[in-house]
Every structure is written in structure tokens, then in C-alpha cells.
Chains A and B, each alone.
Chain A
Amino acid sequence: MSTATHAQTSAPRRRRVNLTVIAPLVALLVLIGIGMALNPNFLSYANITNVLARSAFIGIIAIGMTFVITAGGLDLSVGSMAAFVAGLMILVMNLLTDSMGPGLPVIALGIAVALLAGLAAGFINGILITRAGIEAFILTLGTMGIYRSLVTWLADGGTLSLGYEMREMYRPVYYGGILGIAWPIIVFALLAILGEIAMRHTAFGRHCAAIGSNEKVARYSSVAVLRVRLATYVLLGVLVGIAVVMYVPRLGSASATTGLLWELEAIAAVIIGGTLLKGGFGRVWGTVVGVLILSLIGNLLNLTDFVSPYLNGAIQGVVIILAVVLQRNTGAAR
């Protein structure tokens, strides 16, 4: 403790910042090293593709969550929202197949439904938080329950499955790709790059950080606080829609257990990546690293019998806590 304080006061400012910046990267590299030692197939093309593609859903949602948290908000409804949007999309696509026959227009309309439903859901969250002044934690806790019930109701307690022909036609959106890189990975990477640019180099990103840091000061600096905050929830909703567009072709089904605990995984990834939970500072690339760390832990535990599978959650928990401990030294001064 005394050495840490000493280092903080005497070392140059930039060096202290660098340490917390590289912490998630170091953790990621350590995990990759463990993976290589455990199993020769760890770095195989198939395993890397699997891990990256399955990270894409949480990853895409976590990018949106980074903006929401940076602006001092929170969204607990994204997992349920994803399940509901997926259920709705499958239902609409099945209905359209009956009347239009299987084909690309059905897929296009299905994707449109997912994106619009995500946007609408995000807008509802955002407008109630900003205009009705309901605490984000409470409101999204409410909508979390609502969407989860709605998908159970839509599925009649069972599972909503996409018709067989449509499933075959839509399948390549998850399993296909260009140059051997699967579509979910490409979409995730593109959105991460766009998100990083938006966070660092646009007025929107700066306004998010300003609001999260000090709402009053932001308002006096003529930042449209309510509108920016609303925009973060709408953006998150649309990203949930995009994640669903990639998720549905994987198993072609949605049920009441779809997207369970995704909200917590997304929030955990954001925090591991170095974004401050209390808002004011966010970084999208860190979130991407956080998502990879979380899914690598799961992957490694499945590749070995070394640790009891009961302890999977415990290991993820330790990583999350360590990440927050590391953050303690970075003030909200930025």
C-alpha cells in the first residue's frame, strides 16, 4: 500500500495511467498463455473462430452499454430485450413465410423488425428515464421483467423456432463469412471500431463523458443532457437488435432462457475494460478486451478438467472484482 502511494505521487502522471490501461490487456495475454499451455488446439482456427463469434452477441451489446454507463446510466433490460426481440423476429418471419413463401424478402423484413423493435425498446427505456425521471436502475429492472414475461408468453412457455427452410437460408449470417472470417466477428469488429471513434473523436462521445462526470456542469456548458442520454439508450437498443440479427441464425430459436444474464455479462465486460461504473469515463476497446476475457474463461474451463465447472462463476467473479480494484486508483478527474 505504501509503495503504491509512493508510486502515485512520485511517478509521472502518464505512467500511472498506463498501468491501468494495460491491466486488462495483460490479463487477456495471461489467459491466452494459459490456454496455449493447456491445450494444443487452443489456438486452432476453429477454436478462435468459435470464441470470437460467440463473444459477438455480448460484445455488440456491451459496446452500447459502454456509452450508457459512461453517461452515468445503466440498463438491466438488455438480456430480456434480446430474448423478446429474437422471439418477435422469429414469430414475424414465420408468419411472413406462410404468406410470402421462404426467400430473401422475409429475411430482410425479419432484420428490419429486429432493428426497429430494438430501437423502440431502447427509446421506451430512454424516454421514461429522461422525461419521466425514473431512476435507470429501477426502470430497466421493470422492463427486464416485462420483456422476459413477454417472450415466455409469445413462446407459450415453450420455444419459438424458425421454420426449417428459413433456418437453412438464414444460417450463413452466423456460420458464413468472408475470407474465412465469420460474419458475427466482422460485424463486432466494425461496430467496435465505430464505437471507439464515436467515443473518442465525436461530440457525442465527449458529451456522454461530460454528463457522466458532472451532469450540472454539462448542462451549464449547454450540452443537451436529456437528448444525449436518450440517444445512449436508443443506440443500445439498436445494438441489441443487431446482436439478435446475428444470434437468431445460430440455433434458429428463442425461449424464455435466451439471453439470461446477458445484461450482467455486458456490464461486467464494460467494467473490466476500464470504464467507470459511476460514469464520466469510458473506452470501447477496453470493453472489447473485457468481453474476450469473460468468454475465454468459459472456453478454457471447457477445454480442461482442471477446475470444477461449478467454479466457473467464481473465477469470472474474481476477475470482475480485480478489475474494479485496479480502477480504484483512477479518479474521476478525467
Chain B
Amino acid sequence: MKATLPIKATLVATTALLGLTAVPALSQTVGISIPAATHGWAGALNFHAERTVARLAEANPDMEFVLTTTSDPGQQVSDLEDMVATRGIDALVVLPFESEPLTGPIARIADSGVWVTVVDRGLAQEGIEDLYVAGDNDSFGRTAGQYFAQTLDEGAQVVVMRGIASTVDNERVAGFEAALEGSGVEVAAMDHGNWNRDTAFNLMQDWLSRFPEIDAVWAADDDMAVGALAAIDQAGRTGEMFVVGGAGMKEMVDRIRNSDPTVPVNVTYPPSMISTAIEMTVLGLTAGAPMSGDFIIASELITPDNAENFYFEDSPY
């Protein structure tokens, strides 16, 4: 027993060495780190990430992918450290859980020569990433705001459900308010529904008892729109107001394509942007075409005319 142990160790070591040399020199590893699927949008993000990795792994047999999901910034930093230390990644696609705490760790990875693609939430310091792929939060709010300004009459009463207090939420609301300026549409109340159905349901119930007249609701996210719609339905006030959510949940897109007057339009914030980021990163590694820079995906208005293009049957969101 005692004698076999060193032999075993040597065997393992040599196999590992052989394994290393056997791998073609061109083999590259792409690390992907995204938030865990704890709400609808992040769920769809995971769905699109897995789908893209499966497709690309098949198309590029000599390429390896490491996909990790995390539920807090601290854990994400550890995941990134593990990726660099144990998998020796050549490129990193990361959706930072929070900008500030991840800026340092990602900067160190970029300094070591790894290609870095940052998705959606920007880092606190400019010039770290090679490629930036993101949705446009200002456009997300502005597109909805423009629809409100065009559709509603002067003096119309609007309530606004914000998301979790964050820069993303602040940018969206700023865009929305900028678009409303001068239209005479009044924001009667604004509060945080935290991108959550139950919170939005309670908030909407309370607003319905507080305001006798509400003409429209901007729910800023489809999960909240679901809660708001249920509360409006319960209060028997359907038909008095319309609700505009955001991000293109398939149930909402379905209502739009059926020309539901309560849900007339929606604003996109595509979770499939993770696919865009992974595809462009892999293309950058393999195709030798220039891929660095910023790639900003504008928010589009989903209307009954174009709703069909935004409906994904298999997506969980």
C-alpha cells in the first residue's frame, strides 16, 4: 500500500503532463460569469447563456466553456478567481452583479492578458474591458415615456413602479421623466416595486385606494406589470387605465399581439444580450476580426404590429 502511493502519484502526474501536451496549442477557454436565475429576467439570461454555450461548443470543438452563476457580488469574485487559477481562461464574459465591488477583480484579470467582455452593468472605471455589450437603460425609460407623452392627454395621471434601488433603475426613471417633460402628463406617485410581483400587487392595491383617477401605469418591468394587472382587475377598474411593463415577458408580448387594450405596448430589454456578448467574444478569438468597443442594444417598442418577432415559445420568460 505504502509503496504504491508514490507510483500512483507519479502516474497521475505523468498522465496530467501527457494530457497537457496532447491538447492542441490553439485550444482556448472562455469563462462566463452571470447572476443566478433568481427572477424572471435573470432566468431568461441563464436560458440564453446555456443555449448559446451549447451551440458554440458544438461549432468549436477545440474551445472550452466555463459557465458559473452567482447570487451575490462576493461569490462572483471568488468564481472569477477560481476561473483564472484553475481553468486558465483566455477570455471572460461577465455580467457584474454590482459595478463597484467587481471593478478591481475584473481589472486584475484584464491586466493579466485575458480578453474581457462586460455585459449590461458597466464597471466603475472606464477602459478595463475590451468589449462592452449592454442594453440601453436610458432608452428603456425614454421609449416608454415617449409612448406615454404621445398617447395621454394633458393632465393625465400616471403612477410609476420603480425597480430595486440601483443605477439601472435611476437611469431608466431619468429617461422616462425626460421624455414626459413638457407633455403635461403628471406623475401622481412613484415607489419601488423591487421588480417583484407580490410587492407590485400590494403597491398597486394601495394606489388604487389612494387615487380615484389613474390613467396609466408604468411598471418598468413585466414581473411588476403582472402584479399591477391583478390588483387592477380585483378592484374592478380594468378599462380605466393601461399598463406598460418592460423587458418583453412572453405573456405580455402575447397580450400585445392579441391587441389587449390594457397592455397596448411593451419595451424590450433583451436578456438574449448575453448571447450577443458570447458570440462576439468567440468570434473575436477565432475569426481575427476586430470586436472591441461598445455594442449598445437599443430598447424597442413592441406593438401589435411587430409583437410576433419578440415572442420566444421556449424561453422561461
Chain A interface residues (CB < 8 Å from chain B): 39, 41-42, 44, 46-47, 50, 54, 152, 155-159, 161, 175, 250-251, 253, 255-258, 260, 298-299, 302-303, 305, 309-310
Which one of A44, A54, A155 lies within 8 Å of B43 (CB-CB)? Answer: A155
Interface residues on B, range: 35 or more
The docked-state distance in angstroms from the alpha carbon of A253 to that of B230 is 12
- 30 A-B contact pairs sorted by A residue (CB < 8 Å): A39-B209, A41-B209, A41-B210, A50-B202, A50-B205, A50-B206, A54-B205, A155-B43, A156-B37, A156-B316, A157-B36, A157-B38, A157-B47, A158-B315, A158-B317, A159-B43, A251-B201, A251-B226, A251-B230, A253-B226, A255-B39, A255-B40, A256-B38, A257-B197, A260-B196, A298-B202, A302-B191, A302-B202, A303-B210, A310-B165
Q: Could you tell me if A303 and B206 are in contact, using CB atoms closer than 8 angstroms?
A: yes
CB distance from A111 to the nearest CB of B (A): 20
> Bound complex: CA of A250 vs CA of B42, how far in Å?
23
Distance in angstroms between the alpha carbons of A54 and B209 in the assembled complex: 15
- A contact residues around B43 at 8 Å (CB): 155-159, 255-256
In the complex, how many angstroms separate the beta carbon of B231 from the nearest chain A beta carbon?
Answer: 8
The answer, yes or no, to whether B234 is at the interface (CB within 8 Å) is yes
Q: How far is the CB of A141 from chain B (nearest CB, A)?
A: 15
Closest residue of chain A to B315 (Cβ to Cβ) is A158
C-alpha gap A155/B207 in the complex (Å): 30
**Distance between B177 CB and nearest chain A CB, rounded to angstroms:** 16
**Cα of A257 to Cα of B194 in the assembled complex, Å:** 10
Expressed in whole angstroms, the Cα–Cα distance for A39 and B203 within the complex equals: 15
Cβ of B181 under 8 Å from chain A: no
**What residues of B have a CB within 8 angstroms of the CB of A250 in the complex?**
201, 230
Q: Is the interface of B mostly helix, strand, loop or mixed?
A: helix
- In the assembled complex, the Cα of A257 lies from the Cα of B39 at a distance in Å of 6
Which residues of chain B from 142 to 169 have a CB within 8 Å of any chain A CB? 165
Query: Assuming the A-B contacts A159-B316, A250-B230, are A305 and B189 also in contact, with contact meaning beta carbons closer than 8 angstroms in the complex?
Result: yes
Whether B36 contacts A152 by the Cβ 8 Å rule is yes
Q: How far is the CB of A186 from chain B (nearest CB, A)?
A: 17
Q: Is the CB of B251 within 8 A of A161?
A: yes
The 5 tightest CB contacts between A and B, nearest first, are A157-B37, A158-B316, A157-B43, A302-B206, A158-B43
Q: B133 to nearest A CB, angstroms?
A: 20
Q: State the CA gap A228–B169 with chains docked (Å).
A: 49
**Quick check: is B120 within 8 A (CB to CB) of the other chain?**
no
B46 within 8 A of A: yes
Q: Are B196 and A309 in contact (CB under 8 A)?
A: no
Q: How far is the CB of A274 from chain B (nearest CB, A)?
A: 26
In the bound complex, how far is the Cα of B232 from the Cα of A251, in angstroms? 12
Give every chain B residue within 8 A of A255 (Cβ-Cβ).
39-40, 43, 197, 223
Query: Are A47 and B209 touching (Cβ within 8 A)?
Result: yes
Contact status A54-B202, CB under 8 Å: yes
Q: Are A256 and B202 interface neighbours, CB within 8 A?
A: no
Task: Please measure, in the bound complex, the distance between the C-alpha atom of A297 and the C-alpha atom of B40, giving whole angstroms.
Answer: 28
**B201's closest neighbor in chain A, by CB?**
A251
- Residue interface bits B179-212, CB-to-A below 8 A is 1, else 0: 0000000000101100011100111011111100
Q: CA A39 – CA B207 in complex, angstroms?
A: 11
Q: Establish whether residues B47 and A50, one from each chain, have CB atoms under 8 Å apart when the complex forms.
A: no
- The residue from A44, A251, A305, A310 contacting B209, defined by CB atoms under 8 A apart: A44
In this complex, what residue of A is CB-closest to B202?
Answer: A54
For residues 27 through 68 of chain B, which have their beta carbon under 8 Å from a beta carbon of chain A?
A: 36-40, 42-44, 46-47
Q: Any chain A CB within 8 A of the CB of B227?
A: yes
The B223-256 residues at the A interface (CB cut-off 8 A) are 223, 226-227, 230, 234-235, 251
Assess A175 versus B234: contact at CB under 8 Å? Given A44-B209, A251-B201, A305-B189.
yes
Given known A161-B251, A253-B226, A303-B210, contact A156–B39 (CB-CB < 8 A): no
Q: Which residue of chain A lies nearest to B44 when distances are taken between CB atoms in the complex?
A: A158
A50 touching B209 in the complex, CB below 8 Å, given contacts A251-B198, A255-B40: yes
Complex contacts, A257 vs chain B, CB 8 Å: 38-39, 196-198
Expressed in whole angstroms, the minimum distance between the Cβ of B135 and any Cβ of chain A is 18
Cα–Cα distance between A333 and B197 once the two chains are bound (Å):
44
Min distance, Cβ A142 to any Cβ of chain B, angstroms: 16
Cβ-defined contact, A302 with B210, below 8 A: yes
Q: Which residues of B contact A298 (CB under 8 A)?
A: 202
| Contact assessment for A157 and B209 in the assembled complex, using a CB-CB cutoff below 8 Å | no
> Among the listed A251, A302, A310, which residue makes an inter-chain contact with B207, where contact means beta carbons less than 8 Å apart?
A302
Whole-angstrom distance from the CB of B276 to the nearest CB of chain A? 19
- Which one of B37, B207, B208 has the highest number of Cβ atoms from chain A below 10 Å of its Cβ? B37
- In the bound complex, how far is the Cα of B234 from the Cα of A54, in angstroms? 13
Contacting pair A303 B209 (CB below 8 A): yes
Q: How far is the CA of A251 from the CA of B43 in the complex (A)?
A: 19
Across-interface contacts of B36 in A (CB, < 8 A): 152, 157
B197/A253 in contact, CB under 8 A: yes
**Smallest CB gap from A258: residue in B:** B198
Q: CB-nearest residue of chain B relative to A38?
A: B210
Let me know if A256 and B37 touch, CB within 8 A: yes
- Alpha-carbon gap, A302 to B189, bound state (A): 9
User: How far is the CB of B292 from the nearest CB of chain A, in Å?
Assistant: 30
Q: How far is the CB of A98 from chain B (nearest CB, A)?
A: 17
Enumerate chain B residues within 8 angstroms of A46, measured Cβ to Cβ. 208-209, 235
A159–B226 Cα gap in the complex (Å)? 11
Q: In the complex, A50→B235 CA distance in Å?
A: 10
Give the docked Cα–Cα distance between A250 and B231 (Å): 9
